[in-house]
């Protein structure tokens, strides 16, 4: 039996500490906003799973419904929706993203 897209997303979010739903891959982001979030996560040395929404219209639409958030990328930490590019960037600049990651027990290099 196939999982529904909601079950797939919920499972990915639960089974990985940090998940980025993005356009493209962490190695080859295919939109500037996804690229910015990748740069921030890489800068912090955070291990994360990138899921390419361009490979599946079902995933692309499903994640927007799942989070009730209209845009990609979307960052999840320990099952909790953090936000999109602007939110992640603002949190990073304010030191809040680093704080959130450490509170959630996610290892950062920096």
Query: Does any domain span residue 9?
Result: yes
Cβ atoms of 110 and 42 within 8 Å: the answer is no
Query: Does any domain span residue 56?
Result: yes
- pLDDT tens, 34-45? 999 999 999 999
- pLDDT tens, 82-107? 999 999 999 999 999 999 999 999 98
Mean pLDDT of 13-34: 97
Query: Does any domain span residue 77?
Result: yes
pLDDT of residue 1: 54
Query: Does any domain span residue 22?
Result: yes
Query: Does any domain span residue 109?
Result: no
pLDDT of residue 24: 98
- pLDDT tens, 36-81? 999 999 999 999 999 999 999 999 999 999 999 999 999 999 999 9
Query: Does any domain span residue 16?
Result: yes
Give the domain CATH number at 22. 3.40.30.10
**Would the CA dihedral through 35, 80, 71, 22 be positive or negative?**
positive
First to last CA, the chain: 43
38 CB contacts (<8 Å, ≥6 apart)?
20, 22, 26, 29, 50
Full-prediction pTM beyond 0.85? Answer: yes
Judge whether 85 is annotated as a binding position.
no
Residue 3 in this model has a pLDDT that exceeds 90: no
Query: Does any domain span residue 59?
Result: yes
Q: Which domain holds residue 60?
A: 5-104
Query: Does any domain span residue 110?
Result: no
**Structural domains of the chain, count:** 1
């Amino acid at each position: 039996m196939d999982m529904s897209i909601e079950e797939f997303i919920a499972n990915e979010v639960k089974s990985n500490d940090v998940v980025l739903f993005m356009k493209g891959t962490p190695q080859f982001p295919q939109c500037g906003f996804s690229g910015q979030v990748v740069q921030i996560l890489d800068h912090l040395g955070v291990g994360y799973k990138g899921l390419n929404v361009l490979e599946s219209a079902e995933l692309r639409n499903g994640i927007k419904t799942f989070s009730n958030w209209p845009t990609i990328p979307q960052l999840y930490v320990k099952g909790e929706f953090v936000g999109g590019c602007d939110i992640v960037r603002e949190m990073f600049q304010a030191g809040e993203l680093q704080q959130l990651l450490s509170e959630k027990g996610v290892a950062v290099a920096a």
